[in-house]
Amino acid sequence: MRLSARLLPLIIGIALPAAASEHTPPPVEPATSFAAVEVHSGEHVAIAVEPYDTRQKQSIFHIDYTKYGVMPVRLIVTNLGDSPISLRDARILFETASGERVQAAEPEDVERLMNPHERPSTFPLPGPIPGVRLKPKNKNKEVEEDFDTFEYRAIVVEPHTTRDGFLFYVLSGLNHPLPGAHMYIRDVKNVDGKELFYFEIPFDKYLNGKSAAVTGSVN
């Protein structure tokens, strides 16, 4: 995902209020408190991911995204340094176990999945130019509210600050998308515009942490 231009006019790092009290973002925590985290000590940045891979966790949303093959992934970015970092040009991709890189969905992508008679959604074009994407005929108010409330939107992460939010990935062709998969993040830049070393966070870290928590609760 390259952070969408539609997010730029919004107040950076401030989530819009949820439409209902039960549909609210989780409390912000440092990236280092999550199992699936990568810390670049020399660059003073930590990024973590947390898949919302169960219906129980997805209860914060209006929609049961599992039903449509959509995986919400919480992205947590902590700036450990003394200067801002920029995600304006960041590419944040879900890399499957087979190496396929999936861009984060827009609301219309999810709406189209909920109305399969509207597919196909793109006209292919030659070369590296992406296909022309068709707009869905009918917008879904609940999907739009979820993206407005939860979608990651912080273009700049200030010093000693954590910003978080959700990206939504269409993984409907994968029965078990997390084992062996990674979150691949590049084009994060420092205050001078220098690109930081890329992040490649294995979702197996999350799965292992989840398994350890279950084992600990049994004992």
pLDDT of residue 130 exceeding 90, the answer is no
Contact partners, residue 143, CB within 8 Å, separation at least 6: 62, 63, 107, 110, 111, 114
- Quote the mean pLDDT of the chain: 84
- For residue 144, the enclosing domain spans 5-218
Q: In the structure, what pLDDT confidence band is assigned to residue 3 with cuts at 50, 70 and 90?
A: low
Q: 211 in helix, strand or coil?
A: helix
Contact 160, 30 (CB under 8 A): no
For residues 209 and 36, the answer to whether their CB atoms sit within 8 Å is yes
Most confident of 3-7, 100-104, 134-138: 100-104
Domain count, the chain: 1
Closest CA to 148 of 130, 168, 132: 168
pLDDT of res. 215 = 55
pLDDT at 218 over 60: no
> 90-102: per-residue pLDDT in tens?
999 999 999 999 9
Phi-psi region of 13 (alpha: psi -120 to 50; beta: other; left: phi over 0): left
Identify which of 65, 67, 85, 19 has the alpha carbon closest to the alpha carbon of residue 169.
Answer: 65
CB 30 within 8 A of CB 78: yes
Query: Model's pTM, two decimal places?
Result: 0.81
What one-letter code names the amino acid at 23? H
Taking 60 as the threshold, does the pLDDT of residue 131 lie above it?
no
Confidence (pLDDT) at 216:
57
| DSSP symbol at 66 | G
Say if residues 188 and 195 touch (Cβ distance below 8 Å): yes
Quickly state the pLDDT bin for 115 (edges 50, 70, 90): confident
Alpha carbon separation from 166 to 52, 60, 133 (Å, rounded): 9, 12, 22
End-to-end CA distance of the chain: 41
pLDDT band at 18; cut points 50, 70, 90 = very low
Q: Does the pLDDT value for residue 17 go beyond 70?
A: no
Residue type, 164: D
Band (174; pLDDT cuts 50, 70, 90)? confident
> What CATH number is attached to the domain comprising 137?
2.60.40.1150
